[in-house]
Structure 1
Amino acid sequence: MATTPAIPPSTTQAPDHVRERRRLHTKLKLATQIGEGIDGYVIGGIGMAMTALTADLHLSTLMEGLVGASPLIGIFVGGPLFGRLADRYGRRPVFLADMLIFLVGSVLQFFVTDGMQLFLIRLVMGVAIGGEYAIGAPLLSEYAPKQGRGRLLASLEISWYVGYALATVVGAVFEDVDGGWRWSLASSAVLAVVCVSLRGGIPESARWLLSKGRREEAEALIEKYGIEIDVTAELDERTATQQAGFRALFRKEHLRSTVFASVFWAALVLPYFAIGTYWTQVFEALNMGDNAVAALLVYSFTAVAGVTAGCLVVDRIGRRRLLIPPFWITAGCLALVAVWPSSTPVIVCGFLFFIFLNAASSALTAVYPLEVFPTSLRATGVGFATAMSRVGAAIGTFLLPMGLDHYGARFVLLIGAAVLAIGGLVSQLLAPETTDLDLANAARRAREKPTP
């Protein structure tokens, strides 16, 4: 059988093919976007609930830090674990299993009686979040056309920030309710039920089937749904990538992609998670008054605006331009706030620019990691990069309250600025330009030295 590229979808396709493709794309997009939104909802919800649950459960500073960081710690395990399972056994079963974990964990949060129980439950939910990063976006990317793929994948980050902001709103609604933090945290079960219902019937990835040599099954899906896949490039990548698993990520041909995806992602999310989770404490440390809740809402919705802007321009200006300059600008913003902590205009403008541009670049966390690894390593690579990004985020979230207590807000903000600067430097050296390339060709480009 000749290894020729699959014919792209066209207007000459039978109406049944067009309907099948649209139905699949809509269902898969919704199932992935809601899953991504739940990730943001679970992580964002703790920020509004932390003060009340700390008082109700009598948490120490240590346990407060553990509860705040627990999902991020779980992601460290879930990303590589679910990624490896998805590359070995298929995208479809993992896609459903991790959402069932969300559903059970969401309900159990309502019944906790001490900090350790909440820590363990949210730790397991973090494992599921890691699984969602490792399988949701890769599966969507493997059915996406190369034109507009960046915008489609970046829209997942909009869902994440919308979920984060929605959790903030729900938390504010329940803020004055006795035990309201329980309802706030458990409310993610509603979204999980919807998502589980959507994921039934979604087929296996045709690209994954090709990576396993199951060409007839893959071509049946390509024919049924009119999927645009360069079959030749996928088979060439399968031949070039003989070794799979974690060790393959550190082979010479994939090491550049592994380091880049891990470092740029970690540098983007560490300051955002740490500051967002303990926004009330940061706000008070900067002597900004008693409107922390209103400020957190502004923080969240500014991020939604930023990631939306990133989604709109990611395919127009290219990946590198959306990533590298904002790294340097946001590092400068946090440094300015640290240098002039008594200036309200500097604080307000500095944080707004930081939030907006950081969120805009964060659109690439749903794009770049999927494009720099071949199909046989995609979920494993994304899972590993997710884990590495959350190591930094978990450390930052765990240490931030203690850093504020011992060294003050200026020190914390300067550390955040340094992390962003490291991200900018690594991206300058390693980030490839993958806009409008087929996934297999994008992975090949990532192994080359980037052109500034």
Structure 2
Amino acid sequence: MATKPDRSTASVRFRLTLATQVGEGIDGYILGGLGAVVPAVTTALNMSAWMVGLIGSSALVGIFVGGPLFGWFADRYGRRIVFLTDMLIFLVGSIAQFFVQDAWQLFIIRLLMGIAIGGEYAIGAPLLSEYAPKANRGRLLASLEVSWYVGYMVAFAVGYALVDVPDGWRWTLASSTVIAVACVSLRGGIPESARWLLSKGRRAEAQALIERFDMDVDVDAEVADAEPRNSLRALFTREHLRSTIFASTFWAALVLPYFAISTFYPQVLGALGLGDDALAGSLASNGFAVLGVAVGCLLVERIGRRRLLIPPFWITAVALAVVGIWPNAPIAVVVICFLVFSFLNAASSALTAVYPLEVFPTSIRTTGVGFATAMSRVGAAIGTFLLPIALTYVGVGFTLLIGAAVLALGGVVSQFLAPETTGLDLSHAVRAAHKATVSAS
């Protein structure tokens, strides 16, 4: 006789969802907080343009390390330990930022926090996906991106509010401590993933969790799809290589222009002639991004993954190309193009919390997500590092044309490799992805 879900089921599910949402929000907050205080930090620490770019990209470089490392660890040893450990790193790093005395100290701290962010990408959404029902899995996972953009926007608002406060940049960077403390308290007692237990042959333990949480899991499919090979090596086998290429490329193409431009929004918009309104313009663009990802969250189950991904790639490429070709356009044209870019790029970015989780089997899911995260941040880190230099030496027009080309590349790759996984059980979505990539070859 099946065991009825116990009275704590709703509470644990709520805590898991909230803990993942807050974790995603702190990722955005930590990355956005720096963008809000770049001018103040540059002055306070007497940084060159090269050092500004290095610190701006430091967290992204950390993600490159943390994503695969924590992802591999979570596939090998379990989800729970990584889910808590990376948040403890956030907590320590948030406090340490307040006490930095030079640019190199800030770089090292941001690098370590980036490693933790990589761990969060590799474990947060995958763990939630393994408990999510298929009917609204896409919407639930996409809503994580709403939290990310809200966190990013709130960090900008906090930086804007503290801009005239003595050491306001220190308080802005350290304010993520409050969020980290709340998230650590939420993550204690979260259960292990039943799907991960199945991938390790621990069927009895997994079955108990499935019954306790009334989960709709195809147990036989999960067991059959278990990957016996090393999880990192398996990403490059014939079965999974195209999924690896797709997840890495579409994610990188979405975030490279966004991180590069949004980290230095005041400078970019200032170079385009918005002058003293540059910071206000960056807040407006981030507000449109929050609206865009919320719309993407609502549409992901209605119109399907492919329709939410491919058309926005082309539209945003055109938006950046217009400003790149016509940098002296009327302010209204510039603002409209940037708002279109912010809105649609964010709407598609909802899929960065969905697609990578649906194209890899449970046994290599966090490794696959971690690797895709790392690859996406390679481009984002390069773009963030080079953008202030490019603005200085080649101008804003050429810089934005490069961003448009990256978006167009994402559209081409997605057209050929993106599977349609809407409405499928997680294990069946993986099989659909495999079939799509095989037929594409």
In the superposition, the TM-score normalised over structure 1's length comes to 0.95
Counterpart position of 2:303: 317
Instruction: Tell whether 2:427 aligns with 1:443.
Output: no
Q: State the alpha-carbon separation in 2 of the partners of residues 150 and 65 from structure 1.
A: 35
Counterpart position of 1:221: 209
Letter in 2 for 1:437: L
Instruction: Tell whether 2:289 aligns with 1:303.
Output: yes
Q: Deviations over 1:139-195 (max 9, x none)?
A: 000000011100000000000000000101110111001111000000000000000
Instruction: Tell whether 2:244 aligns with 1:258.
Output: yes
Match for 2:326 among 318, 331, 340? Answer: 340
Partner secondary structure for residue 135 of structure 2? coil
Q: Deviations over 1:301-337 (max 9, x none)?
A: 1000000000000001000000000000000000011
1:135-150 map, 5 Å:
135-150=123-138
Q: Is the 8 A contact 1:328 1:421 kept in 2?
A: yes
Q: State the alpha-carbon separation in 1 of the partners of residues 7 and 155 from structure 2.
A: 35
Q: State the alpha-carbon separation in 2 of the partners of residues 360 and 48 from structure 1.
A: 22
Q: Aligned-pair distance for 1:18?
A: 6.0
Counterpart position of 1:112: 100
Match for 1:89 among 77, 102, 114? Answer: 77
| Structure 2: runs of 5 or more not aligned | none
Partner secondary structure for residue 163 of structure 2? coil
Counterpart position of 2:42: 54
Instruction: Tell whether 2:264 aligns with 1:268.
Output: no
1:28-427 map, 5 Å:
28-238=16-226, 241-343=227-329, 344-427=331-414
Q: Deviations over 1:127-148 (max 9, x none)?
A: 0000000000000000000111
Letter in 1 for 2:123: I
Q: State the alpha-carbon separation in 2 of the partners of residues 171 and 266 from structure 1.
A: 27
Partner secondary structure for residue 225 of structure 2? helix
Q: Is the 8 A contact 1:340 1:346 kept in 2?
A: no
Q: State the alpha-carbon separation in 2 of the partners of residues 434 and 410 from structure 1.
A: 38
Q: State the alpha-carbon separation in 1 of the partners of residues 230 and 427 from structure 2.
A: 16
Q: State the alpha-carbon separation in 2 of the partners of residues 120 and 306 from structure 1.
A: 33
Q: State the alpha-carbon separation in 2 of the partners of residues 70 and 92 from structure 1.
A: 27
Partner secondary structure for residue 291 of structure 1? helix
Q: State the alpha-carbon separation in 1 of the partners of residues 58 and 181 from structure 2.
A: 23
Deviates more, 1:217-226 or 1:158-167: 217-226
Q: State the alpha-carbon separation in 1 of the partners of residues 306 and 322 from structure 2.
A: 25
Q: Deviations over 1:103-141 (max 9, x none)?
A: 000000000000000000000000000000000000000
Partner secondary structure for residue 229 of structure 1? coil
Q: Aligned-pair distance for 1:21?
A: 2.6
Partner secondary structure for residue 235 of structure 2? helix
Q: State the alpha-carbon separation in 2 of the partners of residues 247 and 183 from structure 1.
A: 43
Q: Is the 8 A contact 2:6 2:212 kept in 1?
A: no
Q: Aligned-pair distance for 1:224?
A: 1.5
In the superposition, the TM-score normalised over structure 2's length comes to 0.98
- % same residue: 66
Letter in 1 for 2:318: G
Q: Is the 8 A contact 2:12 2:190 kept in 1?
A: yes
Q: Is the 8 A contact 1:273 1:397 kept in 2?
A: yes
Q: Is the 8 A contact 2:74 2:123 kept in 1?
A: yes
Q: Is the 8 A contact 1:18 1:226 kept in 2?
A: no
After superposition, the CA RMSD in angstroms is: 1.3
Q: Deviations over 1:30-64 (max 9, x none)?
A: 00000000000000001111111110111111111
Letter in 1 for 2:383: G
Q: Aligned-pair distance for 1:296?
A: 1.1
Deviates more, 1:439-448 or 1:187-196: 439-448
Q: Deviations over 1:328-367 (max 9, x none)?
A: 0000000011122222222111111110000000000000
Q: Is the 8 A contact 1:31 1:195 kept in 2?
A: yes
Deviates more, 1:274-283 or 1:364-373: 274-283
Letter in 1 for 2:323: V
Partner secondary structure for residue 448 of structure 1? helix
Q: State the alpha-carbon separation in 2 of the partners of residues 301 and 432 from structure 1.
A: 30
Q: Aligned-pair distance for 1:284?
A: 1.5
Q: State the alpha-carbon separation in 2 of the partners of residues 35 and 290 from structure 1.
A: 34
